[in-house]
């Protein structure tokens, strides 16, 4: 990525370490391919949930862009809400920064994640919802990590990737890169 493009998306005050990291970024998946994949995912979800009215909860941390693209393409009635998780200071345990903003009791839940790479986050959210009476939970993601942890919900993801650090389209690294128009690879995490 050229330094001029970097400044356009990340601003002028980029720390040297981030400048070096993002300076070597390469387009991993182009925007047109991403939007086609989101279209296809919306079709799969619309068919799978055509008789249901799911509650769609999206992760504000990394899925707002993806959710915005997806929800306008869905052809099903749905209720919407958001949430955000953060790591606590003690033992890196997960905790809510924002609890789900919609009632989960007696609802079929679709969780929307940008990068479904942390099984603990998925389990944390699922456990919380099940304890509060959610009926069933499915996961939807822009990218899912190949290999260990790949769940049956991979049919509700756009891309299966390896261990590359991916930024753009809502995904960030060290707080930078979420507004990039394509998915970029920063190499291995």
Going by DSSP bridges, is the β-strand pair 55-59/108-116 parallel, antiparallel, or unpaired? parallel
Q: Is the pLDDT of residue 185 over 80?
A: yes
Which has the closest alpha carbon to 99: 131, 146, 75? Answer: 131
Residue 104 has a pLDDT of: 96
- The mean of the pLDDT values for the chain is 87
pLDDT digits (tens, 9 = 90+) for 52-95: 999 999 999 899 999 999 999 999 998 999 999 988 777 778 99
Instruction: Return the pLDDT at 145.
Output: 80
User: Tens digit of pLDDT for each residue in 22-32?
Assistant: 878 889 999 99
pLDDT tens readout for residues 5-14: 666 777 777 7
The residue assigned the tokens 């994640």 is 113
Which pLDDT score is estimated for 189? Answer: 47
Query: 148 pLDDT exceeds 70?
Result: no
Report which of 119, 109, 106 is spatially closest to residue 82, judged by C-alpha positions. Answer: 109
State the pTM of this model. Answer: 0.87
pLDDT for position 75 = 93
pLDDT above 70 covers a percentage of the chain that reads: 90
């Amino acid at each position: 990525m050229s330094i001029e493009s970097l400044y356009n998306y990340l601003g002028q005050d980029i720390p040297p370490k981030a400048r070096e990291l993002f300076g070597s970024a390469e387009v991993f998946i182009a925007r047109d391919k991403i939007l086609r994949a989101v279209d296809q995912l919306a079709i799969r979800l619309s068919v799978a949930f055509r008789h249901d009215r799911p509650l769609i909860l999206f992760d504000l941390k990394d899925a707002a862009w993806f959710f915005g693209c997806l929800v306008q393409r869905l052809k099903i009635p749905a209720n919407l809400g958001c949430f955000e998780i953060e790591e606590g200071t003690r033992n890196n345990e997960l905790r809510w920064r924002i609890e789900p903003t919609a009632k989960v009791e007696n609802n079929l839940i679709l969780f929307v994640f940008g990068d479904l790479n942390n099984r603990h986050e998925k389990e944390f959210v699922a456990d919380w919802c099940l304890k509060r009476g959610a009926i069933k939970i499915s996961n939807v993601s822009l990218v899912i990590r190949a290999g260990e942890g790949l769940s049956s919900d991979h049919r509700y993801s756009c891309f299966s990737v390896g261990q590359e650090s991916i930024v753009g389209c809502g995904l960030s690294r060290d707080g930078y890169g979420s507004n990039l128009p394509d998915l970029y690879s920063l190499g291995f995490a």
